[in-house]
Amino acid sequence: MVKIGVLALQGAIREHIHSIEACEAKAITVKSVEDLALVEGLILPGGESTAMRKLIDRFEMLEPLRQFALDGKPMFGTCAGLILLAKELVGYDYSHVGKLDAIVERNSYGRQVDSFEIDLNIEGVATDFPAVFIRAPQIVSVEENVEILATHGDRIVMVKQGHLLGCSFHPELTDDHRIMTYFIEMVKESLANEVHVK
CA distances from 172 to 45, 87, 102, 161 (A): 8, 24, 22, 21
User: Residue 171: which of 157, 185, 160, 156 has the closest Cα?
Assistant: 157
Catalytic residue among 15, 40, 105, 172: 172
From the CB of 83, what's the least distance to another protein, in Å? 10
Catalytic residue among 16, 96, 152, 170: 170
From the CB of 185, what's the least distance to another protein, in Å? 26
Judged by beta carbon, residue 136 or residue 187, the one nearer another protein is 136
15 counts as catalytic = no
Report yes or no: 57 and 98 within 8 Å, Cβ to Cβ. Answer: no
Judged by beta carbon, residue 132 or residue 146, the one nearer another protein is 132
**Partners of 139 in beta bridges:** 104, 156
User: Residue 9: which of 92, 93, 131, 97 has the closest Cα?
Assistant: 97
Judged by beta carbon, residue 24 or residue 119, the one nearer another protein is 119
- Site residues (CB under 8 A) for another protein? 8-15, 31, 46-48, 50-51, 54-55, 58, 79-80, 106-107, 110-119, 132-135, 170, 173-174
Please report how many Cα atoms fall inside a 13 Å half-sphere around the Cα of residue 52, on the Cβ side. Answer: 29
Catalytic residue among 23, 79, 105, 167: 79
d(CA 9, CA 67): 18
172 counts as catalytic = yes
Judged by beta carbon, residue 137 or residue 187, the one nearer another protein is 137
- Catalytic residue numbers read 79, 170, 172
